[in-house]
Structure 1
Amino acid sequence: MKKYIILLSLLVFVFCGSKEKNISSLSNEHDGHEHEAQAPEVSEQGAHEHEQEADLHEGEEHIELQLSAKKQKEWGIVVGTATKQDIASKITITGILALNQNKTAHISSFVRGKVVSLSSDLGDIVNKKQVMVTINSPDFVQAQATFLQARAKLNLSRQDFERAKMLLQEKAIEQKEYLRREAGHAELSTEYGAAESILHSYGIEHEQIQELIKKCDSLVEKGELCELADPNLCILSPVEGTVIFRDVTVGEHVEPQKILFTVSNLNTLWAHLDAYEKDLPYISKKSEVAIKAPLYPEKEFTGKITYISDTVDEKLRTIKIRVEVKNDEGLLKPNMYIQGNVENRQTGKKTLAIPEEAIQNMNGEKIVFVLEEEDVFAVIHVELGERIGNKRIIAKGLEEGEKIVIKGAFNLKAELTKQSSGAAHVH
């Protein structure tokens, strides 16, 4: 019996030991699988953190150049402040100068006749209504005579008509007779007006006609005939300016269609510019224009756009722009070749722009030198926008108010290219 009990106990011990061993083995296997699953996850997170640290380190890369005040002066270093400005587009257009047609006059005779005297010559500066040439003309004599005759007839007709009014009131004449005299008076009034208009077309002004009438009336009062027709017609200049053309001599017989003089005010000229289609958005009558001539490279002449063509040239694909240019000193001459710098400002829209000289190219990227301390200049990378004259818009990388090198930046870049490390020190 005892033997049987001992054997049973041994079997129970062996069974339980085997079970514990299996459970322990399963537990170890389970723990091992957990560690294997977690290992890759830790590795990826660590790599990601490493990349972030690397990117951060790259973004904080700082290139500096230390330069003493003495060296800054020797290298011509000038520091300015980056500021936002009104956007202004500037384009350069070629063209040619011409006379201001609004202040130019071609002078010819109003009548056929013979030149008896000249009062002006090439290069003379003449005033408005100044006598240029005197013409002896039978046509002018006839025009004066016709006018004086028409006036005499009108005066008689007026007296007859006034008498007819009085007689009609007294019923001394019939209505039919009164109307006949009224129509006759109206006809003579028309003839008188036409004769006066002919004199005006010859350049005779109202004051001169009144003077002619006054002299005629004076002779009539004395019982003399009104024979005041003057054959000499004075041709006057309609504008103030310089005589730039003359084609007439004394004794010459002239016709109305011939141009005898050209007078033009040269204090202003026209610049005819040829703008391309792509330039049209940057051109308006409010644009500021500076005219430059090769003969005077250091001078600028202010101008104002007065006309922009509504059509495009079919062959050249250009648009005509007319600019009125001031020429007070008389330096500019018609037919000179010129350049027009057209600047169009858009007020109210400010953007950050710096001198193009401040921007340098290093390793294929655009950089600007920023003054961090009194003698320390840091390199910053910038993205560029549109070019505006000699300035460039900064789209990214620079803040308003930062102190930047606006002159001498090339010397700083040249010094950096000599250095192999990220920092340099120059005494």
Structure 2
Amino acid sequence: MKHFIYNILAITLALSFVNCGGSKKESNNDASETEEISNNNIKLTKAQFEQSAMKLDGLEEKSFPVIVKTNGMIDVPPENRAVVSATMGGYIKKTPLLIGDIVKKGQVLVTIENPEFVSLQQEYLEIKEQLVYLKSEYERQKTLFDENITSKKNYLKTQSEYKTAQAKYNGLRKQLSMLNISPTNVENGTITTTATIYAPISGSITKMNVTKGTFVSPATPIMEIIDNDHIHIELSVFEKDIMKVKKDQRITFKIPEASTGTFEAEVHLIGTSINENRTIKVHGHPKDESKNNFLIGMFVEASIITDSIMSKAIPSEAIVAIDNSSYVLILESENGDEYTFKQIEVKTGSSYEGYTAIDAANTFDASTRFLTKGVFNLVGE
């Protein structure tokens, strides 16, 4: 009990100044209280108790969650993330955007330039003109063949030439469309050296890998766009815990590097395979995600609530930790104007929402009264 002798002496002296100014009689009382402390008892007058805003409470039956602790990160579904690249190689001619810019689906992102675009359009026009002739010749040969005027060989030859040209025409037309070059404009005589790349999704630009004049190939990622209108938390749960996790279970999580708050989510999907570090991916949906400024890639510490148990508990502030042990003060007796408290070591369980479970091995009953406010003023290192 020597751990808290100095604390109680300080409180007693302070209270004696408040009451009447330090008489010899009060000094004798201080000595008496110090002696009681050394015998594992603390005595306080009701006036001292009230002036220090102390409080007594009994054991309460509380529900404590059974949790699986895990870590993860804020992420988005695959369809909300797009890496933009060019269909054909070229030099960046125009790139008006920066990281953080918000874009809409279909908005111009970059313009690329390549002389080969001209060759592609010329080839398209040539095959289009050939196709007109080959179609006419194919139809003529078919009519002659049907009337047994020409040989089957001639008919099949013109048919092959026509269908080959038709396939090439369709392929070139598709290439132009993929480059966002209008085949109709090309057919009308408008030839261009540039191709425009449009936003495939709405969102914000999170990566920009090019500048004006950069050469890009189809394998070059030009930029990344992320739509964070719907985010999720991607958690890694160890193999030993995964059987406890079920869909729709509640998740509480924190973002320790960015916030002191606690956020809510629920289990949405559970992975069906174990990766190399013996963990399984669990996908959670945050609640009220639109009200929070979550950023993709934020690290989260999460607790998945898999069950709950009822336990006897007291307010956490009623428990003081000293040298790796936990102690409480219980009301030993109440005599007139005086409270007598006794310090007891206890075994504690989990803590939740301001309460801590008291181990069943502790022999307390419904009549036991605990000092739940002001304990730190009396007990300390």
TM bucket, shorter chain: 0.5 to 0.7
2:240 partner amino acid: K
CA–CA distance in structure 1, aligned partners of residues 138 and 351 of structure 2: 79
Given the superposition, is the C-alpha separation of residues 91 and 247 from structure 1 closer, same or farther in structure 2, using an over 3 Å criterion? same
1:271 to 2:271 alignment:
no
Matches within 5 A, 1:230-245: 230-245=192-207
Q: Deviations over 1:373-410 (max 9, x none)?
A: xxxxxxxxxxx9x96966899999xxxxxx999xx965
Kindly indicate whether the alpha-carbon contact (under 8 Å) linking 1:128 and 1:239 is maintained by their aligned counterparts in 2.
yes
Shift of the 327–119 alpha-carbon distance from structure 1 to 2, 3 Å rule, reads: farther
Alignment of 1:246-261 (within 5 A): 246-261=208-223
Larger Rg: 1
Query: Does residue 300 of structure 1 match 2:263?
Result: yes
Q: 1:311 aligns with which of 239, 257, 274?
A: 274
Question: Compared with structure 1, are the counterparts of its residues 214 and 228 closer, same or farther at alpha carbon in structure 2 (3 Å cutoff)?
Answer: closer
- The aligned residue for residue 177 of structure 1 is 154
The offset of 1:352, in angstroms, is 5.4
Give the Cα–Cα distance (whole angstroms) in 1 for the partners of residues 224 and 234 of structure 2. Answer: 21
Within 5 Å, which residues of 2 pair with 1:7-26? none
How far apart, CA to CA, are the structure 1 residues paired with 2:266 and 2:193? Answer: 47
Shift of 1:77: 7.3
Q: Offset of 1:264 from its aligned partner?
A: 0.9
Amino acid at match of 1:254: V
Residues 251 and 303 of structure 2 are in contact (CA less than 8 Å); yes or no, is this contact kept in structure 1?
Answer: yes
SS in 1 for 2:100: coil
* 243, 256, 259: which one aligns with 1:281: 243
TM-score by length of 2: 0.61
The Cα offsets for residues 97-119 of structure 1, whole Å up to 9 and x where unpaired, read as 44554311222222222222123
CA displacement 1:158-214 (0-9 Å, x = unmatched) = 222222333334443333322222222222222223223433543x3xxx65xx337
- Give unmatched runs, 5+ long, in structure 2: 1-49, 320-325, 327-346, 361-365, 376-381
- With over 3 angstroms needed to count, the CA separation of the structure-2 counterparts of 1:392 and 1:238, relative to structure 1, is same
Deviation for aligned residue 1:233: 0.4
Question: For 1:147-226, what aligned pairs fall within 5 Å after superposition?
Answer: 147-202=124-179, 204=180, 209=182, 212-213=183-184, 216=187, 219=188
Distance 1:186 1:133 in 2: 36
Higher mean alpha-carbon deviation, 266-275 vs 126-135, is at 266-275
Supply the distance in 1 between the matched residues of 2:350 and 2:281 (Cα, whole angstroms). Answer: 24
Kept in 1: contact 2:58–2:370 (CA 8 A)? no
- Figure out how many residues of one structure are paired with residues of the other and give that number: 303
Does residue 321 of structure 1 match 2:292?
Answer: no
Q: 1:95 to 1:215 in 2, by over 3 A?
A: closer
C-alpha displacement at 1:411, in angstroms? 4.0
Instruction: Tell me the amino acid that sits aligned with residue 115 of structure 1.
Output: I
Q: 2:270 & 2:123 partners in 1: Cα distance?
A: 46
User: Which protein is richer in helix relative to its size?
Assistant: 1
Write the mapping of 1:277-426 to structure 2, written as runs, cut at 5 A. Answer: 277-294=239-256, 295-302=258-265, 304-308=267-271, 310-314=273-277, 317-325=278-286, 327-329=289-291, 331-344=293-306, 357=315, 411=372
Which amino acid in 2 is paired with 1:297?
Answer: T
Q: Alpha carbons of 1:116 and 1:82: their partners in 2 closer, same or farther (altered >3 Å)?
A: same
Q: Distance in 1 between matches of 2:285 and 2:61?
A: 36
SS of the residue 2:176 aligns to:
helix
Aligned-CA RMSD value: 4.7
- Alpha-carbon distance in 1 for matches of 2:132, 2:371: 92
Contact 1:94–1:339 (CA under 8 A) maintained in structure 2:
yes
Q: In structure 2, the residue corresponding to 1:298 is in which secondary structure?
A: coil
Return the letter of the residue paired with 1:126.
Answer: V
Counterpart amino acid of residue 226 in structure 2: S
3-state secondary structure, aligned to 2:211: coil
**Kept in 2: contact 1:111–1:139 (CA 8 A):** no
TM-score (norm 1): 0.56
Alpha-carbon distance change, 101 to 214 in structure 1, aligned in 2, over 3 angstroms: closer
User: Contact between 1:242 and 1:265, CA under 8 Å: does it hold in 2?
Assistant: yes
Q: Is the 8 A contact 1:275 1:320 kept in 2?
A: yes
Please give the alpha-carbon distance, in whole angstroms, between the structure 2 residues aligned to 1:182 and 1:214: 29
| Aligned pair partner of 1:138 in 95, 115, 126 | 115
**Per-residue deviation, residues 240-269 of structure 1 (Å, max 9, x unmatched):** 111111122223333332222111123344
1:235 is displaced (CA, Å) by 1.1
How far did residue 126 of structure 1 move? 0.6
Offset, 1:332: 2.4
Query: What SS class does the counterpart of residue 290 from structure 2 fall into?
Result: coil
Q: Is the 8 A contact 2:248 2:266 kept in 1?
A: no
Mapped contact 2:125–2:186 kept (Cα < 8 A)? no
Q: Deviations over 1:344-373 (max 9, x none)?
A: 36xxxx975676649x99xx9xxxxxxxxx
Secondary structure of residue in 2 paired with 1:164: helix
> Cα 1:130–1:355, aligned 2, differ >3 Å: closer, same or farther?
farther
The residue that corresponds to 1:422 in the other structure is: none
SS at structure 2 position matched to 1:94: strand
